[in-house]
Structure 1
Amino acid sequence: MARVLVTGANGFVGSHLVEHLLSLGHEVTCLVRRTSNLQWIEALPVRFAYGEARLPESLPPVVKGQEYIFHNAGVTRAWNARGYIETNALGTRNMLRACAAAGDSIRKFVLVSSQAAAGPCRDGRVVTEDDTPRPVSHYGRSKLLAEKFAHRFENRLPVTIVRPSAVYGPRDRDGLDLFKNARRHLATIVGFRRASLLSTHVRDIVEGIALAGLAEESAGRTYFISYDKPHSWEEITDAIGEVVGKTAIRLRVHGDTVKLLGRWITALAATARALGLRPERSGPPLLTVARSIELAQRCWLCSCERAKKELAFSPKIGLREGIRLTAEWYRREGWI
C-alpha cells in the first residue's frame, strides 16, 4: 500500500482515478478546495487536504509524506489563454516545486496532461510520443507548457507524463449534450469529410494513468493513454442514437463555422458576465474558442503502443459498451 495524493480529485476523471487507486489498496489523499463539490468522493475512505495548485503556499503541508503525486487538476475550459496557463501550467509548476522541496519521500510525480498537448494528426499519420508536439489551441499549449515544466524537474523528481485521449463515461458533463441531442433526433457532425478520433472510456483512462504512475520503470517517460481503435463522429453518434433508441438526423457543420461560433459564444458569455447578466462565478461556455478549434480538426489519432508494451496497458471497453454504460448512468442520475 502506498500513500497517494490526487489533485483534481473531485472532478470527472479525478474521482474515477481515486476510486481505482482505492481498489488497488492504496491510501489516498484528495487535494480539494474548501468550496469544491465533493459529491463523487465524499463517501469514499479518503483523507481530504485543503489547498490549490494555484496557491503555492498551500501545497507544502499537503505533499509532505506522500509517495505518489497524481497531478490531475486543471481546466478544460477558460475565458482566454491566461486562464489556461495560470491553472494548467503555472499550477503544475507550483506542485513540482512543492514536491521537489518535500525530500525523498516522493517516489513519483505523475502529470496528467492531454492528447491536446501533442496536437492532431499530421497527414493522417498516427501521432506517437516521439513526434514533436504541435498543439492547436490555448488549452493544448498550456498542457504542453506544463509538460515542459515537468521535464525541468526530472533531475530532482521521478516524473511520468500521461496524455489521455478524449474521454467519456459516467459523470462526464461535457459529453452529455451528445446524448441529449440524440434524444431530440439530432446528431451534429463537424466537417463534411470523415474525421477520425480516439474516444476512450474513463475506466480505461484511469487504469492507464495508474499503471504509468505506479510503475517504477516509467520515470522519465511519456505515454499516450487511449483506446486502440479509431472511430468517426458518425460511428459515435450512431452508437449513441442506438442506445437512447432514437434515429438521429445528421446536421453537418463546417469546421470554420464551428470556430466562428466558438468565438461568438465565448465573447457573448464574457460580455453577459461583465454586465451582470451572467453570474460572476459562472464558468466559460461549453463551446470555448479552444474547444471549437479542436473540434474542427479532422484527425485526432495517437498510438498507445508504448503503454501497451511497457506497462501492459490494455483498453477493454469498446465504443458501444462504453456508450451503453454511460447512458445507463445518465438515466439513473436523471441527466437524460
Structure 2
Amino acid sequence: MSRILVTGANGFLGSALVRALVERGHRATCLLRPGSDVSGLAGVEYTRAEGDVIHAPGLVRAVEGQEVVFHLAGVRRAATREDFLRVNAEGTRRLCEALVAAGNRPRLVLVGSLGASGPSSAGRPREEEDVPHPTDAYGESKAEAERIAFSYADRLPVTVVRPPRIVGPRDRENLLLFRLVARGLRLRLGGGERPLTLVDVEDVVDLLQVVAERDEALGQSFFVGHPHPFTLERIQDLAAEALGVRPRTVNLPPLVLSTLATAADGVARLTGRPLPLNRKFARQLLAPAWTCSSAKAERLLGFRATRDPADTIRRSALWYRQHGWL
C-alpha cells in the first residue's frame, strides 16, 4: 500500500485515477479547493486535503508523507495567457518546491497534454522527442509546466504523461459534440478530414499507474493513445449510432466556426460563465491533425492502449443520456 496524493482529483481523469488507486488498495489523498464539486468521487474512500497548487501552505501540508504525487490540477479555460501560466506552470513550480521541501523525494507524475507539443501533420504523428510547438496559451502553459518539472529532475524522480483527447463517461470536453448530435445536428468542417488520436480514460489511468512504479519511466515523457486515428465526423457518427438518431449534416466553414467561437468567448467574459464553444476548442478542431505515437510507451514499458475509443464513444453517449447530460 502506497501513500499517494492526487491534485485535480475531482476532475474527469482525476476521479477515475483515484477510484483505480483505491481499488488497488492505495491510500489516496485528494488536494481539493473549498467548495469543489466532488460528485465524481462519490462512494470512494479518500483523505481530503484542503488547498490548491497556487497557495504554498496548503501544498506543504498535503505533500507531507506522500510517496507518489500525481499532478493533474490545472485550468483548461482562462481569460488570459497569464492566468494559464499562473496555474498550470507556476502551480507546478510551487508543487515541486513543496515536494523538495518534504525531503523524502516523493515520485512526481505530471499529467501534461498533447497540446504542449502542438498539432501534428496529417501524415506523421507527434513523437515525444519532437520540438514542442504549442499553438495557444493553454499549450504554452503545459509545455512550460513540463520544463519546470524536469528542471527538478536532479532533486525529484519525475515522469510526464501527455494524453491526447480523452474520451469516456463524465467527460465534458467533448460533450458539445454529443449534445449537437442528440439535437439532430452533425458538424462537418470545411477543408477535409482532420485526424485525431483518442484515448479511453481508463487507458490513461493504467499508464499513470505503470509509470509511477517503473524506473524506466524516470526522466521520460510518454504519449498514450489508440493507434488508429479518428475524426470529428466519426465521433459524431458513433454517438448518433448509439443514440439512435439520424442527424442532419451542417457544413461549417472554418471562418464561421472561428467567428462563433470568438463571440462565445466574449459572452463568457461578460457573464463569467465558460461556454462549451470557445476559441481554444475551435483552434483545436481546425488544426490539420492532432495525432501522436505511443510507440515509446510500448518500447520502454510494454504498455499499449487497448480499449477501442469507438466503444467508449458509444458508452459515453448512453451514459450522457441516462444521466441527463444531453
User: In 2, distance between residues paired with 1:23 and 1:224?
Assistant: 25
Output aligned runs, 1:276-295, within 5 Å: 278=271, 282-295=272-285
Structure 1 match to 2:292: 302
Q: State the AA in 2 paired with 1:320.
A: A
- Per the TM alignment, residue 311 of structure 1 is displaced from its structure 2 partner at its CA by 2.1
Structure 2 match to 1:200: 199
User: In 1, distance between residues paired with 2:34 and 2:308?
Assistant: 37
- Per the TM alignment, residue 105 of structure 1 is displaced from its structure 2 partner at its CA by 4.7
After superposition, the Cα gap between the structure-2 partners of 1:56 and 1:120, relative to the gap in structure 1 and judged at 3 Å, is same
Structure 1 match to 2:97: 97
- Per the TM alignment, residue 178 of structure 1 is displaced from its structure 2 partner at its CA by 1.6
Identity of aligned residues (%): 36
Task: Provide, for residues 103-131 of structure 1, a one-character-per-residue CA deviation record: whole Å limited to 9, x for no partner.
Answer: 1251x101100000001113631110010
Structure 2 match to 1:23: 23
User: In 1, distance between residues paired with 2:157 and 2:323?
Assistant: 40
Task: Provide, for residues 167-203 of structure 1, a one-character-per-residue CA deviation record: whole Å limited to 9, x for no partner.
Answer: 1111112222222211222111333311100121211
Structure 1 match to 2:154: 155
Name segments (4+ residues, structure 1) moved above 6 Å. Answer: none
Structure 2 match to 1:246: 245
Output aligned runs, 1:167-316, within 5 Å: 167-270=166-269, 272=270, 278=271, 282-316=272-306
User: In 2, distance between residues paired with 1:308 and 1:218?
Assistant: 12
- Per the TM alignment, residue 141 of structure 1 is displaced from its structure 2 partner at its CA by 0.6
User: In 2, distance between residues paired with 1:332 and 1:235?
Assistant: 22
User: In 1, distance between residues paired with 2:184 and 2:278?
Assistant: 25
Q: State the AA in 1 paired with 2:226.
A: Y
- Greater CA drift, 85-94 or 212-221: 212-221
Preserved contact between residue 192 and residue 252 of structure 1 (Cα < 8 Å): no
User: In 1, distance between residues paired with 2:318 and 2:302?
Assistant: 29
- Greater CA drift, 6-15 or 229-238: 229-238
Preserved contact between residue 116 and residue 140 of structure 2 (Cα < 8 Å): yes
Structure 1 match to 2:5: 5
- Per the TM alignment, residue 293 of structure 1 is displaced from its structure 2 partner at its CA by 1.5
Aligned-pair RMSD on alpha carbons? 1.5
Preserved contact between residue 200 and residue 312 of structure 2 (Cα < 8 Å): yes
Give 5+ residue unaligned stretches, structure 2.
Answer: none
Matched residue SS, 1:142: helix
User: In 1, distance between residues paired with 2:304 and 2:292?
Assistant: 15
Task: Provide, for residues 197-234 of structure 1, a one-character-per-residue CA deviation record: whole Å limited to 9, x for no partner.
Answer: 01212111211222222322211000001111101222
- Per the TM alignment, residue 82 of structure 1 is displaced from its structure 2 partner at its CA by 1.6
User: In 2, distance between residues paired with 1:147 and 1:323?
Assistant: 30
Preserved contact between residue 186 and residue 250 of structure 1 (Cα < 8 Å): yes
- Greater CA drift, 208-217 or 55-64: 208-217
Q: 1:320 aligns with which of 286, 310, 313?
A: 310
* TM-score using structure 1 length: 0.93
Task: Provide, for residues 150-175 of structure 1, a one-character-per-residue CA deviation record: whole Å limited to 9, x for no partner.
Answer: 11111110100110010111111222
Q: State the AA in 2 paired with 1:18.
A: V
- Per the TM alignment, residue 316 of structure 1 is displaced from its structure 2 partner at its CA by 2.2
Aligned length: 326
Give 5+ residue unaligned stretches, structure 1.
Answer: 273-277
Task: Provide, for residues 67-107 of structure 1, a one-character-per-residue CA deviation record: whole Å limited to 9, x for no partner.
Answer: 0000000111111212211111111111111011111251x
Structure 2 match to 1:40: 40
Q: State the AA in 2 paired with 1:28.
A: A
